[in-house]
Amino acid sequence: MHRNPLRHGVRRNGPVRDWKVMKVARAMVHEDTSQVAEYLSKNMGLDVLHSMLGNLDASLIPPANTEGHSPATRRHVDIASSTMTDLLVILGSFNDAANPLTLKPFMDDCWTLLVERRDEVARWILYFIPYSVASSSVGNILHVCVEVMMMMNSEHRGFYKEEIISAASTARIIIHLICLTHPRTQKVVTCRQAPFRGCSITEVWRLYLTVNASSHLSVVEQLTMASPATRRQVITALVDSARERTSQMCDRRAIRAASRCFFNLVSGTWVFPYPLWRTLNSRTFMAHCSKYLLAFAKEAGEYQDHESDIWLYISQSAEMLAMTAAVRVVKNPIEGHCRERDSASSIPLPREGTAVRSGASGSE
């Protein structure tokens, strides 16, 4: 049986000293995260990370419903969950490192191992996503998985991270997250680190669709290749998630969190290619979002807080919706209808000396 060296203090290979390194690293996270990566580079051998990733071997993934399975199977899930938490500590330390340039060789070695096992790690995350809301004993594994995805696409990107965030398996995680609902209530799942901070699932959605070109193309490709039923599920989830934010405005902090989540959702859909946008707007997405945005503005106006970043999220969301309406919804003034590529470079402007065509049956 695979046992997590960082949780149970035993390994099949390597010195006992290495098993205790992550315990110290986890404690350091609560004190000074900027020094964790340097500590790991001096005290953690790569064999420890290799052993950790062995706990995430895809062959250990049980069927979707583990509640009725044997203690040994549930133990595999617990070990994988603990390993995912340790992986978050390591990735978080890389992003918060005080001297990232001096630690680059060590971090590159770690990223190389992660690239080699990226699909297996992704398959465990895809297992944990529905399991996290169906099981009462899984704890905060959903939050851990979401944070791992955020660390993968942080601002300190390099070749190795590009290899991971552009993978099809990574894109499938983003799609599964945005579609996640509670099995009993069928409401969208909100994943928060702390009350009123906002939903980190929507943060990941915006991050992978707007910040990095590689991850954007990968997610869009997966959505384009998906079955019509899957695309409808994604679109329904986006509309429902936007609506759900309007029910979370109980005070100023809640309005701030909800408006940020709404901004994240709108940001992600704003960059959809036209075929996906057309499918999205078949659910009258623009009309729904305009109504929800008005609700945010009315609630925020009740507090008369003109300095709050609530208005930043509201104004940026309004700007994106207006630009989307101008580009995607209104008719092309030259062609008389919306086209898949309505841009200055793709609109066939009339040649010099000819008149603009008026409609499909017009004449030059």
User: Nearest Cα to 343, choosing from 354, 357, 332, 353?
Assistant: 332
Tell me, what's the pLDDT at 204?
95
Whether residue 34 is contained in a domain is answered as yes
> Picking from 105-109, 260-264, 334-338, which range would have the lowest pLDDT averaged per residue?
334-338
Q: What is the mean pLDDT of the chain?
A: 79
Whether residue 322 is contained in a domain is answered as no
- Report how far residue 162's alpha carbon sits from residue 212's, in angstroms, rounded to the nearest whole number: 9
pLDDT at 133 over 60: yes
User: Nearest Cα to 218, choosing from 170, 252, 179?
Assistant: 170
* pLDDT: which is higher, 354 or 233: 233
pLDDT at 240 over 50: yes
pLDDT at 362 over 60: no
Tell me, what's the pLDDT at 358?
35
Tell me, what's the pLDDT at 353?
37
pLDDT at 317 over 80: yes
Whether residue 97 is contained in a domain is answered as yes
Max mean pLDDT range (79-88, 136-145, 171-180): 171-180
Tell me, what's the pLDDT at 99?
82
Whether residue 135 is contained in a domain is answered as yes
Q: Secondary structure of 44-113 in the HEC alphabet?
A: CCHHHHHHHHHCCCHHHCCCCCCCCCCHHHHHHHHHHHHHHHHHHHHHHHHHCCCCCCCCHHHHHHHHHH
Tell me, what's the pLDDT at 142?
92
- Report how far residue 74's alpha carbon sits from residue 77's, in angstroms, rounded to the nearest whole number: 5
Q: At residue 181, what are phi and psi to the nearest 5 degrees?
A: -130, 155
Q: What percent of the chain has pLDDT over 90?
A: 26
Residue 305 pLDDT class (50, 70, 90 cuts): low
Q: At what angle do helices 228-245 and 274-281 cross, to 10 degrees?
A: 60
Whether residue 36 is contained in a domain is answered as yes
- How many domains is the chain built from? 1
Whether residue 73 is contained in a domain is answered as yes
The two structure tokens encoding residue 277:
């946008």
- Report how far residue 48's alpha carbon sits from residue 263's, in angstroms, rounded to the nearest whole number: 40
* pLDDT: which is higher, 197 or 227: 227
Whether residue 303 is contained in a domain is answered as no
pLDDT at 200 over 70: yes
Across the range 322-338, mean pLDDT stands at 65
DSSP secondary structure letter of residue 188: B
Across the range 106-119, mean pLDDT stands at 92
* pLDDT: which is higher, 333 or 30: 30
pLDDT at 179 over 50: yes
181 close to 233: Cβ distance less than 8 angstroms: no
* pLDDT: which is higher, 155 or 12: 155
53 close to 120: Cβ distance less than 8 angstroms: yes
Across the range 317-328, mean pLDDT stands at 84
CA–CA distances in Å: residue 342 to residues 47, 283, 310: 53, 21, 32
**Helix and strand tally (H, E) in the chain?**
18, 0
Residue 156 pLDDT class (50, 70, 90 cuts): low
Cβ neighbours, 10 Å, residue 13: 10
Residue 333 pLDDT class (50, 70, 90 cuts): low
Residue 346 pLDDT class (50, 70, 90 cuts): very low
pLDDT in tens, 245-301: 887 777 788 888 888 999 999 998 888 888 888 888 776 888 889 999 998 888 888
pLDDT in tens, 62-102: 886 655 567 887 888 888 998 999 999 999 888 888 888 88
189 close to 134: Cβ distance less than 8 angstroms: no
Long-range interactions of 128-136: CB distance < 8 A, separation 24+: 128/80, 128/81, 128/84, 129/173, 129/176, 129/177, 129/180, 130/64, 130/176, 130/180, 131/64, 131/66, 131/77, 133/180, 133/181, 133/182, 133/183, 133/189, 134/65, 134/67, 134/183, 135/66, 135/67
Range of the domain at 93: 1-142
- Report how far residue 346's alpha carbon sits from residue 339's, in angstroms, rounded to the nearest whole number: 9
Whether residue 197 is contained in a domain is answered as no
